[in-house]
Amino acid sequence: MMSAQEGASLTVLVLDESDAAVPAADIALQDKSHGISKKVSTDGAGKHLFDFLPPATYRLEVERKGFNRYTIDQLDLHARDSQIVRIQLRVAAATKSEVTVTGEYEGLPTDASTGAVISGDYANRLPSNGHNLDTLVRMTPGVVSSGEPGGGVNVNGMRSNTNYYTVDGVSANTGGAQPGGGGPGAMGEGPAEIVQNA
């Protein structure tokens, strides 16, 4: 079970070519790795918020009668992401057409945290002993040893007890009484995220 802190949120904003909101647009969001789909409609402001989404790669489709279908084939959401996707629908011509975005789509981050995401594939190619996250974290820009017992790290000047680590979207914090106390554990197959709140 995933906690709310580890889930991602995605706000979909649907507009027409004049930047006016498109209410009642049909949105289909599919988790590509698990095949689970959610189908909803935009509100009167042309928006819909998907909250507590598991980190994954999604396919997003937006349709509204009188407009071309819009598809984002690869939308990556990581743990604790908060993204806004702005979609501009085009009025449909007499012949049917659609807009498809291929490749990876990067939404707009909406939180004030900074950090780094280390993919499992990237980590496995790094020359580190045992692919331990402690080693990988120290390679992240802005990270320095805290000099504290237990070997914590300071990220961009913040104390080590403010760090929060996830692996495959699940907390990887060890030790300490506070979230972020201690360091991360071993590297999993999926992405690891190092987040420092501003």
Which domain covers residue 145, as residue numbers?
Answer: 114-196
| Count of beta carbons in the 10 Å neighbourhood of residue 41 | 12
Single out the residue in 70, 92, 109 at which a domain terminates: 109
190 within some domain: yes
Which helix (H) or strand (E) segment is 114 a member of? strand 114-118
142 within some domain: yes
Shared domain for 93 and 123, answered yes or no, is no
For residue 173, what are the CA distances in angstroms to 47, 52, 178? 35, 20, 9
Shared domain for 36 and 68, answered yes or no, is yes
Indicate which CATH number applies to the domain containing 20. Answer: 2.60.40.1120
pLDDT of residue 177: 38
Shared domain for 119 and 97, answered yes or no, is no
Q: Which parts of the chain have pLDDT scores under 70?
A: 1-5, 94-99, 101-136, 139, 141, 149-151, 164-169, 172-198
pLDDT of residue 20: 95
Shared domain for 105 and 135, answered yes or no, is no
Shared domain for 20 and 102, answered yes or no, is yes
Closest to 163 (Cα-Cα) out of 142, 145, 179: 179
2 within some domain: no
| Residue 83, C-beta contacts closer than 8 angstroms, at least 6 positions apart | 8, 9, 10, 11, 77, 107, 108, 109, 110
pLDDT of residue 84: 92
pLDDT of residue 90: 92
- Please compute Rg for the chain using Cα positions: 20
| Count of beta carbons in the 10 Å neighbourhood of residue 38 | 13
pLDDT of residue 198: 45
pLDDT of residue 59: 94
Task: Tell me, rounded to whole angstroms, the distance of Cα 52 from its chain centroid.
Answer: 11
Tally the domains of the chain. 2
pLDDT of residue 105: 59
| CA–CA dist 123, 74 (Å, integer) | 22
pTM: 0.52
Single out the residue in 91, 109, 127 at which a domain terminates: 109
Shared domain for 84 and 156, answered yes or no, is no
Single out the residue in 109, 137, 159 at which a domain terminates: 109
